């Protein structure tokens, strides 16, 4: 009884509200469409502005494994412009310079480069060229302004736009000081690859980065390059320092190399201690 009493007024109210809304929409349709257009354009503008600001921050503070879309056509100004998009990934970050690996494939359309990232192409063997791109860190902002660096991304975990762009880090072992029998770090692996390509200068820089982070294998490799003068002048002080650093972590090869170095240079080793600056 109560339902049949209240239902007709409720339905009548709903119909009235619907009628008012319909008349209002018809009467002010142009105004509403204009408001929707303004709101949509405002949202696109704010999103674009935030994206630009985020990318500028990434370029001001580059990190290993950051991914850039680079248009070489904007850089090679000596000839008529033609889009030449390549995928670039940060390999080394120094105080003044940044070294990028560049894709072997050149893309005519930016969307093709983005699609390659989404398809995990960055992780394929041979995807990157052996020759590197080197820019001054202060140069990155100006390259971004002229669209020579079209986009900049930082991986979330290991992904950029759903595509894998770097290896997932292995969990740290309980005894994190024991590094000699644990998998090699990324920078050390990069140093080994560069060393085999006889790019000793960049290999030395990669080993140095990993050695300073505490990688015993990198410390051992770095010491060997200083001992032999590969990519630098012979520096037995540096060799002794890094051999000793690795040896103290239980690296057996470093311990053996340190023994041989001290046997051949006893006076040198006696005058060096781990506290010496390197």
Predicted confidence (pLDDT) per residue in 148-206, tens digit: 898 999 988 888 878 888 877 654 433 333 333 344 578 888 888 888 888 888 989 98
pLDDT of residue 184: 56
CA distances from 190 to 39, 51, 156, 195 (A): 48, 31, 22, 8
Helix (H) / strand (E) containing 9:
helix 2-27
Please give the residue that has the higher pLDDT: either 40 or 248: 248
Mean pLDDT of the chain: 80
Please give the residue that has the higher pLDDT: either 51 or 130: 130
pLDDT of residue 190: 86
- The CATH code of the domain at 186-268 is 1.25.40
Q: Report d(CA 22, CA 178) in Å as an integer.
A: 74
Q: Report d(CA 149, CA 141) in Å as an integer.
A: 9
pTM above 0.75, yes or no: no
pLDDT of residue 198: 82
pLDDT of residue 268: 67
User: Domain limits of the chain?
Assistant: 60-164, 186-268
pLDDT of residue 15: 66
pLDDT reading at 254 higher than 70 = yes
Predicted confidence (pLDDT) per residue in 202-237, tens digit: 989 989 998 999 999 999 999 998 988 888 898 988
Please give the residue that has the higher pLDDT: either 141 or 278: 141
Contact between residue 227 and residue 260 where contact means Cβ atoms under 8 Å apart: no
pLDDT reading at 145 higher than 80 = yes
């Amino acid at each position: 009884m109560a339902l049949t009493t209240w239902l007709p007024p409720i339905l009548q109210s709903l119909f009235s509200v619907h009628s008012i809304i319909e008349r209002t929409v018809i009467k002010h349709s142009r105004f509403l469409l204009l408001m929707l257009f303004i709101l949509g354009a405002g949202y696109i503008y704010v999103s674009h502005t935030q994206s630009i600001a985020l990318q500028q921050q990434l370029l001001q503070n580059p990190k290993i494994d950051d991914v850039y879309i680079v248009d070489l056509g904007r850089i090679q100004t000596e000839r008529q412009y033609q889009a030449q998009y390549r995928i670039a990934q940060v390999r080394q970050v120094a105080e003044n310079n940044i070294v990028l690996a560049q894709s072997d494939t050149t893309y005519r359309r930016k969307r093709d480069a983005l699609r390659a990232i989404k398809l995990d192409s960055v992780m394929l063997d041979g995807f990157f060229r052996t020759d590197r791109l080197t820019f001054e860190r202060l140069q990155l902002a100006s390259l971004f302004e002229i669209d020579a660096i079209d986009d900049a991304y930082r991986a979330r975990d290991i992904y950029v736009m759903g595509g894998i762009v770097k290896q997932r880090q292995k969990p740290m072992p309980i005894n994190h000081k024991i590094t000699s029998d644990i998998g090699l770090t990324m920078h050390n692996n990069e140093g080994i690859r560069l060393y085999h390509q006889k790019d000793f200068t960049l290999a030395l820089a990669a080993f140095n980065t990993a050695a300073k982070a505490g990688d015993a294998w990198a410390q051992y490799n770095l010491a060997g390059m200083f001992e032999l003068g590969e990519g630098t002048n012979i520096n037995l002080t540096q060799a002794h320092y890094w051999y000793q650093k690795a040896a103290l972590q239980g690296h057996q090869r470093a311990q053996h190399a340190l023994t041989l170095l001290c046997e051949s240079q006893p006076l040198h080793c006696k005058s060096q201690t781990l506290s010496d600056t390197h």
